[in-house]
Chain A
Amino acid sequence: MSAPVFADLVGQQEAIAIIERAVRAARGIDVEAQESGAMTHAWLFTGPPGSGRSNAARAFAAALLCTERGCGECATCREVYAGTHADVELMESEGLSIKADQIRELIVRAAWAPATGSFRVVIIEDADKLTETAANALLKAIEEPGSFTTWFLCAPSPSDVLPTIRSRCRSVLLRTPSHQDVASVLIERDGVDPTMAAHVARASQGHVGRAKWLAFDEDARKFRHDLLAIPARIRTVGEALSTAAELHRAANEESVRENADRDEREMAELSTAWGHGATGKGMPSGASKAIKELEKAQKSRTTARNRAFLDIALLDLATFYRDVLLVQAGAEAPLINEDLRSNVTDVAGQIPAEGALKRVEAIMGARKALAFNVAPLLALESMMLALRLPARGGE
Chain B
Amino acid sequence: MLALYRKYRPSRFADVIGQEHVTVPLSNALSSGRTHHAYLFSGPRGCGKTSSARILARSLNCEQGPTPDPCGKCQSCMDLVANGPGSIDVVELDAATHGLVDDARDLREKAFFSPVAGRYKIYIIDEAHQLGPGAANALLKVVEEPPPHVVFIFATTEPEKLIATIRSRTHHYPFRLVPPGILTKHLEKICEEEGVKVAKGVIPLVVRAGGGSVRDSLSVLGQLLAGAGPDGVTYEIAIALLGYTDSAILDQVIDSFAAGDGASVYQSVDHLVEAGHEPRRFAQDLLERLRDLIVLESIPQSAHSIFRELPPDQLERMQQQAARFGRGSLSRAADVVNEGLTQMRGATAPRLLLELICARVLLPGSEDSERGVLARLERLERRGDVALPSTSVKSAVAAPIAAPKEAPAADAPAPVAAPVKKAPPRAIDEDESPVAAPPVEVKSAPAAKPTGPIDLLGVRRLWPEIIENVKARRRLTWSLISAGAQVASMDDKVMAVSLSNSGARDSFMRSGSDEILRQAIIDVVGLDRRIEAIVDPSGSEASPSSKAPKKSALEKKSERKDERDDDATLNATSGAALLARELGAEIIGQFEKE
Residues of A in contact with B (beta carbons under 8 Å apart): 11, 14, 18, 21-22, 25, 33-42, 48-49, 100, 104, 107, 128, 133, 136-140, 143-144, 156-157, 159-160, 163-164, 166-171, 173, 175-176, 178-179, 205-207, 311, 315, 318-319, 322, 325-326, 328-334, 352-358, 360-361, 364
Which chain A positions have C-beta within 8 A of B6?
A: 143-144
Does the CB pair B366–A167 fall under 8 Å? no
Q: Are A22 and B226 touching (Cβ within 8 A)?
A: yes
Instruction: Evaluate whether A332 and B267 lie within 8 angstroms (CB atoms) in the complex, with A36-B225, A37-B1, A49-B348 already known.
Output: yes
User: Which single member of B127, B262, B345 contacts A330 (CB below 8 Å)?
Assistant: B262
Task: Tell me the minimal C-beta distance from B469 to chain A in angstroms.
Answer: 13
Known contacts A49-B348, A164-B157, A354-B363, A325 near B219 by CB under 8 Å: no
B24 within 8 A of A: no
User: What 0/1 readout, one digit per residue, does chain B (347-385) give for beta carbons within 8 Å of chain A?
Assistant: 111111001100110110110000000000000000000
Contact status A156-B222, CB under 8 Å: no
Contacts of B240 in A (CB 8 A): 14
* Alpha-carbon distance A358/B416, docked complex (angstroms): 35
Return the chain A residue nearest B196 by Cβ.
A36
Stretch of B270-278, B512-520, B525-533 on the interface side: B270-278
* A contact residues around B222 at 8 Å (CB): 37, 40, 170
Which chain B positions have C-beta within 8 A of A39? 1, 226
- Say yes or no: B366 contacts A176, CB within 8 Å: no
Q: Given contact pairs A179-B274, A315-B349, A357-B363, enumerate 18 new A-B contacts (beta carbons under 8 Å).
A: A33-B226, A36-B225, A37-B3, A37-B225, A128-B346, A136-B129, A137-B130, A144-B6, A164-B157, A166-B216, A168-B215, A170-B223, A178-B273, A178-B276, A205-B352, A207-B348, A331-B267, A333-B270
- Indicate if the CB atoms of B127 and A136 lie closer than 8 Å: yes
Evaluate contact between A167 and B213: CB separation under 8 angstroms: yes
Minimum C-beta distance from B582 to chain A (A): 11
List residues of chain A with CB within 8 A of the CB of B46.
Answer: 167
Q: How far is the CA of A360 from the CA of B349 in the complex (A)?
A: 14
Cβ–Cβ contact A48 & B350, under 8 A = yes
Residues from chain A with Cβ under 8 Å of B267 in the complex: 331-333
Residues of B within 8 A of A206 (CB): 351
Is B97 touching A140 in the complex (CB atoms < 8 A)? yes
Residues of B close to A143: CB separation below 8 A: 6
Query: Would B3 and A36 count as touching, CB distance under 8 A?
Result: no
B45–A164 CB distance below 8 A:
yes
B410 within 8 Å of A (CB atoms) = no
24 A-B residue pairs with Cβ-Cβ distance under 8 Å, sorted by A, are: A21-B226, A38-B227, A40-B222, A136-B130, A143-B6, A160-B345, A170-B222, A175-B277, A176-B279, A176-B351, A178-B273, A325-B355, A326-B355, A329-B261, A329-B265, A330-B568, A332-B267, A352-B365, A353-B363, A353-B366, A357-B356, A357-B359, A358-B366, A360-B359
Shortest 3 CB-CB contacts between residues of A and residues of B: A329-B262, A333-B270, A331-B266
Q: Does B228 contact A (CB under 8 A)?
A: yes
Q: Which B residues are CB-close (under 8 A) to A318?
A: 352, 356
Complex Cα distance A295/B242, Å?
Answer: 49
- The closest CB in chain B to the CB of A170 belongs to B223
B96 touches A333 (CB 8 A): no
Question: A167-B45, A170-B223 in contact; A157/B270 too (CB < 8 A)?
Answer: no
Q: Which of B262, B278, B349 contacts A353 (CB 8 A)?
A: B262
Cα–Cα distance between A364 and B357 once the two chains are bound (Å): 12
The answer to whether A175 touches B276 (Cβ under 8 A) is: yes
CB distance from A46 to the nearest CB of B (A): 9
Closest residue of chain A to B372, judged by CB?
A354
Alpha-carbon gap, A37 to B279, bound state (A):
29
B319 to chain A, nearest CB (A): 27
The reply to whether the CB of B437 lies closer than 8 angstroms to some CB of chain A is no
Closest-CB distance, B208 to chain A (whole angstroms): 15
In the complex, the chain A residue whose C-beta lies closest to that of B581 is: A352
Contact check, B215 vs A357: say whether CB atoms are below 8 A apart.
Answer: no
Choose from A36, A140, A325 the contact partner of B262 (Cβ within 8 Å): A325
What string of 1s and 0s marks CB contacts (under 8 Å) between B200-228 and chain A?
00000000000001011001001101111
When C-beta atoms are compared, the residue in chain B nearest to A355 turns out to be: B366
Chain A residues lying within 8 Å of B44, measured Cβ to Cβ, are 163
- Are B96 and A133 in contact, with the CB atoms below 8 A? yes
Q: Within the assembled complex, what's the spacing in Å between the Cα atoms of A224 and B96?
A: 48
Contacts of B216 in A (CB 8 A): 166-167
Considering only CB atoms, which chain B residue lies closest to A162 in the complex? B45
Q: Does B126 contact A (CB under 8 A)?
A: yes
**In the assembly, what is the distance between CA of A33 and CA of B1, in Å?**
10
Q: CB within 8 Å of A: which of B252-302?
A: 261-267, 269-270, 273-274, 276-281
Most buried by B among A33, A169, A331: A331
Minimal Cβ-Cβ distance residue in A for B221: A37
Q: Which residues of A contact B127 (CB under 8 A)?
A: 136, 139-140
Nearest Cβ on chain A to B145's Cβ, whole angstroms: 28
In the complex, how many angstroms separate the beta carbon of B99 from the nearest chain A beta carbon? Answer: 8
Interchain nearest-CB distance for B21 vs A (Å): 22
Chain B positions within 8 Å of A333 at CB level: 266-267, 269-270
Tell me which residues across on chain B come within 8 A of A157, comparing CB atoms.
280, 344-346
Which A residues are CB-close (under 8 A) to B126? 139-140
Please give the distance in Å from B499's CB to the nearest CB on chain A: 28
B97 touches A354 (CB 8 A): no
Would you give the shortest CB distance from A345 to chain B, in whole angstroms?
13
**Max chain A CB contacts within 10 Å: which of B46, B157, B243, B349?**
B349
